[in-house]
Structure 1
Amino acid sequence: MKHISILVPESAVMEAVADPRYLFTAVNQFLQESGKKPLFNVQLVGQSKEVRFLGGVYSVRTDKTLDEVDKTDMIIIPALFGDLKSAVDLNQKSIPWIVKHYNCGAEVASLCLGAFLLASTGLLNGKKCSTHWAFYNEFRETFPEVEVVDGGIITEENGIYSSGGANSYWNLLLYLIEKYVDRDTAILAAKYFAIDIDRESQAPFTIFNGQKDHNDEEVKKGQEYIESNYQEKIAIDDLVNILGVSRRSFERRFKKATNNTIAEYMQRVKVEAAKRDFELSRKNINEVMYDVGYSDSKAFRNLFKKLTGLTPVEYRNKYNKRAELPV
């Protein structure tokens, strides 16, 4: 049997503790019903025998404490909740425990914002990682040695797995079922739990708010100018002239502060505006394209799909449920 240790961290998201236990237990039942032996020995593991969440609204009684686990094959790190630095600090005892068992051959999987606890172990240094899209900037700032996969649902490297935001962790759990059991069982679980098994990107759910958690005031002015004038075709030379800065230096500072080039930032602001139009208006594709400063329909459609994972028509049909809309 494969021993699955579901860590029960302080400040965890309750569902991210319960859901993996539910899934692995259900798969055992599926196997037994088909005449096979159950594969997973699932245990909840914590720093103490009882872990409370949300000021005691929820509590979980663990099967074992950290020091009672002699060996395990897989550690699941659920999503954290609230202030992430404080949440990681509350779980300091689990960090050497995760490292110890990884070095002894266990695989490790983080769900959503569990990536912050996983990255705190140092095991992700020099590796790729997925996490919730809304926390990319905080993650990159906190763990500059780790490469965040933009839009990634599942990332795997050297026995370390991570998943994208919120319910994306179901896709990682199904991926593990397919790896440990087989594709048929993963499909059965996907149908049972009503999950889109092969979703590959969280890009359609991403909301781009700009990265302003930095101290470069001139870069912030540049961001604000782009966001206020996204309908126009802004030339980078015109932008730096307005700000009175040298282009080469400003491009370097902009990239460092926002993790985007100036051109990428312009594109993302324009696409975010287009998304809002598709969600709320009855404008057709060309009208929205012109509104956000594009005149080349092929370039606009290619960029939109690159950043959202959907074509403009697919995005509008997904998020605008009004009566028949013009293409």
Structure 2
Amino acid sequence: MTTAADLCAEVGLVIFPDCQLSAVYGLTDVFRIAGEMSASRAEGGKAHAIRVSHWQLSADGGEVVCSYDSHPGQPHRLTYLITPPSLIVPSRMQPMGNLTDWLASRHAAGTTLVSVCAGAFLVAETGLLDGRPATTHWAFAAELARRYPSIRVDSSRMVIDDGDIVTAGGILAWTDLGLTLVARHLGPTIMLDTARFLLIDPPGRMQQPYGGFVDRRDHGDAAILKAQLWMHGNGARDHAIPELAEIAGLGERTFQRRFQKATGMKATEYAQQIRIERAREALELTRKPVEQVAWDVGYGDPSAFRRIFQRITGLAPADYRRRFGLMQREAAGPAGGATP
């Protein structure tokens, strides 16, 4: 039987309405497997395990209770509390005042708060992320920054470890997070054994290459929407401010101010996003040379295209194709070699 001395950490997983239960149970499995890996390598020495507990509001919503414990019968000493992803967008998540108050009280008692994806919104509600760097799903980053402007949102990173608060990016970033905690408490060898057994990559990825263009069209400004649709219609090949302002029926200064307010970016930045999104698709689905892709999406200078593409995606076009290109994968044989 595992004793308190054998436990190197306790990870509490927070269950809330519409949270991603696969993340909750997946992390539970990661820590269990890591503990078994630790035991298999002990060879008569001391094996350690990570205790996992699940926490949620009681039926009446009045208190937070433990609904699962991998090592019952011992007092809880929560090292981490993880708020998992949500299956619904942040704007539809329910208020959880008692839960966020409990998170804040646990943090004050020394527990490290950890979030994955939209779980960052629960931690942000405590006020403990104010003035700190944090990440979330790239599609929710603008909403997190808008709702909590004092947070330094950086959605390019998969995991941001700020000591007593750790945030992780998109929905499946829980795998990176889980392995990071395994490495911290059971060592890198156990972490790599666990990753190999589960067929998942070790932590260290960036979220930026997975991101996409979050196109805001629900802002209610009909004049700006008209310009946006025109830009999409021609692939943003023509995006001169005077012409866009004329299409919107606005003066140039008014157009630029309202465009940034409505979309969250300048018209030139918006045009770049449209072009790069089309370039991504071409690199994923065709074998066209990078220079041809650049020309097709409106860049006469391939060097300029490469610089802008890498700035937005975090990868050079050729590297992006190697990672995400479907045509390239189809050209590989069963063992990863080229087909005849």
Indicate the TM-score class for this superposition, using the shorter chain for normalisation. Answer: 0.7 to 0.9
Using the TM superposition, give the Cα deviation of residue 112 of structure 1 relative to its aligned residue in structure 2, in angstroms. 1.6
Identity %: 28
CA positional deviation for 1:61:
4.5
2:47 is the alignment partner of 1:40: no
Deviates more, 1:276-285 or 1:160-169: 276-285
Partner of residue 151 from structure 2, selected from 146, 155, 159: 146
Is the 8 Å Cα contact of residues 45 and 63 (structure 1) preserved in structure 2? no
| Secondary structure in structure 2 of the residue aligned to 1:7 | strand
Contact 2:117 2:168 in 1 (8 A): yes
Spell out the pairing of 1:132-281 with structure 2 (5 A cutoff).
132-230=137-235, 232-281=237-286
Q: Which ranges in structure 2 are unaligned for 5 or more consecutive residues?
A: 1-7, 333-337
State the match for 1:56 in structure 2: none
Unaligned 5+ runs, structure 1: 52-59
* CA distance in structure 1 between the partners assigned to 2:195 and 2:300 by the alignment: 42
Equivalence for 1:104: 109
Q: CA deviation at 1:30?
A: 1.9
CA distance in structure 2 between the aligned counterparts of 1:247 and 1:199, rounded to whole angstroms: 44
Name the aligned partner's letter for residue 120 of structure 2: A
Partner SS for 1:144: coil
Q: CA deviation at 1:290?
A: 1.0
Structure 1 residue aligned with 2:16, among 9, 14, 18? 9
TM-score normalised over the length of structure 1:
0.84
Amino acid at match of 1:74: Y
Cα gap change, 1:312 to 1:83, in 2 (>3 Å): closer
**Contact (CA 8 Å) 2:179, 2:203: kept in 1 or not?**
no
State how far apart, in whole Å, the 1-side matches of 2:77 and 2:251 are.
58
Are 1:312 and 2:317 an aligned pair? yes
Instruction: Name the counterpart of 1:21.
Output: 28
1: CA distance between counterparts of 2:181 and 2:280? 33
Q: Which has the larger radius of gyration?
A: 2
* Pairwise CA RMSD: 2.9
Counterpart of 1:75 in structure 2: which amino acid? L
C-alpha contact (below 8 Å) 1:130/1:155 kept by paired residues: yes
Structure 1 202/236 Cα, relative in aligned 2: closer, same or farther at 3 Å?
Answer: same
Residues 130/9 of structure 1: CA separation in 2 closer, same or farther (3 Å cut): same
Partner AA of 2:54 in structure 1:
L
Amino acid at match of 1:79: P
Shift of 1:161: 1.1
Residue 81 of structure 1: aligned partner = 87
Q: Deviations for 1:153-212, whole angstroms, at most 9, x for unmatched residues? A: 112224111111121221122222223333333222222222222443223322314122
Q: Give the counterpart letter for 2:219 in structure 1.
A: H
Rounded to whole Å, the distance in 2 between the matches of 1:213 and 1:158 is 37
Q: Residues 43 and 285 of structure 1: is their aligned pair in 2 closer, same or farther, counting only changes over 3 Å?
A: same
How far, CA to CA, are the matches of 2:24 and 2:203 in structure 1? 22
Q: Could you tell me how far apart the structure 2 residues matched to 1:254 and 1:236 are?
A: 11
Q: Tell me, what secondary structure is at the counterpart of 2:160?
A: strand
Rounded to whole Å, the distance in 2 between the matches of 1:99 and 1:194 is: 35
Whole-Å separation in 2 of the counterparts to 1:84 and 1:62: 26
Q: Is contact 2:80–2:111 with CA below 8 Å preserved after alignment?
A: yes
CA distance in 2 between counterparts of 1:250 and 1:237 reads 9
Within the candidate set 287, 291, 300, 1:286 is matched to 291
